[in-house]
Chain A
Amino acid sequence: MTAPTAPVLPSPSQSPWPRRLRTTRRALFIGVLILGGILMMVPFFWMITTSLKTRAEVFAVSPTILPTQPRWENYAEMWNALPFAAFFVNSVKLAALNTIGQVISCSMAAYAFAVLRFRFRGPLFGLLLATLIIPFQVVLVPNFILYRMLPHPFSTSGNWIGTQEPLWVGAFLGGAFGTFLLRQFFLSIPRELADAARVDGANPWQIYRRIYLPLAKPALATLAIFTFMWTWNDFINPIIYLRDVNSFTLTAGLSLFQGQFVGKWPLLMAGALVSVIPMIILFIIAQRQFVRGIAMTGIKG
């Protein structure tokens, strides 16, 4: 060991390599990581630069990386080509409704499974968990048929098809992922708190509202963020249920845009960027909750 104050026992940070070689190796390692990180970012970078180019620049024989002069008009053109403002509002509205619905209904179910004692608790929880491994595409057809049977006062079809309702009402009816996540969290809250409140005459609703919900804020935030992201990025449900362009979400609208503006890459990239920016901002703000949520449950984006 070259270090003058080397301890008797080698610590794990010490390897048999001479120090200088170790530093070089480490630098090389970090270099590869940074290079990989840059590689991961290339599609985003390419999206941004393309969104600011002219069509001539995009198809030039020897294209440049950056636009000679950023063409901000692409964004205005994209925004007005289709009702993007409406898409944006619809995505925000549906993501918010789904988030509220999941946080309320899953936390209620999680409280029952974690705290209350009742017959069939085990089997019911098992049944709920079993729905986790079933691909949701398996129930697409029966759900569609169900929503087609439900009457709707304001829909042109007379039923729920063509309205946004199938895209959020179900969120108020619980879900295996959220219930499981919150139940695990509720189980970690000491039971003595609930017992003490019960002695003081609190009923289960008050215990849920005043003790469990406030203490579970981190887990609730994780569920909220994931639900928001899933709804925001959902594609198959909007294209199945929505008919009127003005009711489209950003993903459905973007797909329509892709079909109508084939090859107009600057506009398409501007549209793609506008639809991913809110999620990127949310991710940067709430990175901790994201990472914890994935590590805890392994559910992906």
Chain B
Amino acid sequence: MTAPAANRNRRGRGGGPLSGEGRWALLFLAPTILGLVVLSAGPILATIAISLTKWDLLRAPQLVGLDNFVDLASDDRFLLALRNTAFYTVVSVPLGMVISLGLALALNQTIRGIAWIRTAYFLPVVTSTIAIALVWQWIYSPDSGLLNQFLATFGIAPQRWLSNSTLVMPAIVVMSVWQGLGTNIIIFLAGLQAIPGELLDAASVDGAGRWARFRNVVLPLLTPSIFFTGVLSLIDSFQVFDQVFVLSRPRPTDATITVVYFIYENGFKFFKMGYASAASWVLFVIVAVFTTIYFRSQNRWVHYQ
């Protein structure tokens, strides 16, 4: 790919101080190029080809055209997976962003011990979702779970959080928002600390109160951070898997199956490689479409300094 490039580079520019840099570049980039070809960019193309086949890995793949996509469109479990993933995204992304923005504003000050308080908010980010979901499964447990115990002190009857089809997705959302707050808070804090103090001073001189300063100075200057956390949360939420795997043991119900679980189940439990690849492509297209729309929207509300 870059081998001829290196030669052309050398000949084209006729030696000079840059001669041979193309060759060095090839050496430095060899692992990356191999990775792109066999592990990321190449496989994406392969997924298209595989999605047009029926392939159980035991027999040779059978070309079936767009059958897999047609089947997906009428597969109730896949449609439920799409609906649940959409619900998860629509609820968890705004909720997580609003709460973390509020917390970042509160945490953006110098008091003794603030570092310890911040650590408390960051800690869930670094812990594995599998271990954390196990703890939440126990918190949500119908028998002696912490949540039901807590609600009992207010006279609220115990709920079956994880087996009630209305409550289970909100329960998963709450756990995920709790775990993800730290990431957003860190990005917001970085954004807040980049706001020039003079701007706030100037606003104060002009008689702007706390709320006016927030609304007219802080918030507009923070829109790049808000946009950024939005992109990350959006992409991340389409990929929800670990929480669902642990919290809806032994296997996700109609109320909890998500797109990635659907891919996992078809690809690696039922070994329907073509079908799983088709579902992967649908996921990819959804993520791409939403990310593009979101990026297009930024002219309207994101202010870059």
Q: Which residues of A contact B (CB under 8 A)?
A: 9-12, 14-16, 29-30, 32-34, 36-38, 40-44, 46-47, 50, 58-60, 63, 104-106, 108-109, 111-112, 116-121, 124, 127-128, 130-131, 133-135, 137-146, 148, 170, 172-176, 179, 198, 203-205, 208, 229, 232-233, 235-236, 239-240, 250-251, 254-255, 258-259, 262, 265, 268-269, 271-273, 275-276, 279-280, 282-284, 287, 290-291, 294-295, 298-301
Contacts and interface: CB of A to CB of B under 8 A. Distances in A.
A270 B264 CA distance: 28
Interface string B6-25: 10110000000110011011
A82 B1 CA distance: 48
A258 B134 contact: yes
Nearest to B231: A298
B21 A117 contact: yes
Contacts of B130: 233, 235, 251, 254-255, 275
Nearest to B242: A235
A191 B287 CA distance: 39
Contacts of A176: 40
Given A14-B204, A135-B284, A301-B126, 15 more contacts: A33-B107, A37-B121, A40-B121, A46-B139, A118-B6, A124-B29, A135-B283, A138-B280, A143-B39, A145-B50, A254-B130, A276-B128, A300-B180, A300-B236, A301-B127
A173 B205 contact: no
Contact of A128 (B32, B144, B182, B231): B32
A294 B50 contact: no
B25 A287 contact: no
Contacts, number: 303
A97 to B, nearest CB: 14
B187 A298 contact: yes
B120 A108 contact: no
A233 B187 CA distance: 22
Nearest to A109: B32
Interface residues of B, number: 109
B209 A143 contact: no
Contacts of A203: 24
B197 interface: yes
Among B44, B123, B239, B281, the most chain A Cβ lie within 10 Å of the Cβ of B123
B154 interface: no
8 contacts: A120-B5, A133-B235, A139-B44, A203-B24, A235-B242, A280-B127, A282-B126, A290-B126
Contacts of A236: 241-242, 260, 264
Contacts of B155: none
A255 B232 CA distance: 27
Interface of B: 1-2, 5-6, 8-9, 17-18, 21-22, 24-29, 31-36, 38-44, 46-47, 50, 57, 103, 106-107, 111, 116-117, 119-132, 134-139, 141, 143-144, 146, 149, 178, 180-183, 186-187, 189-190, 197, 200-201, 204-205, 209-210, 228-229, 231-232, 235-236, 238-239, 241-242, 245-246, 249-250, 260, 263-264, 267-268, 273, 276-277, 280-281, 283-284, 287-288, 291
B21 A118 contact: yes
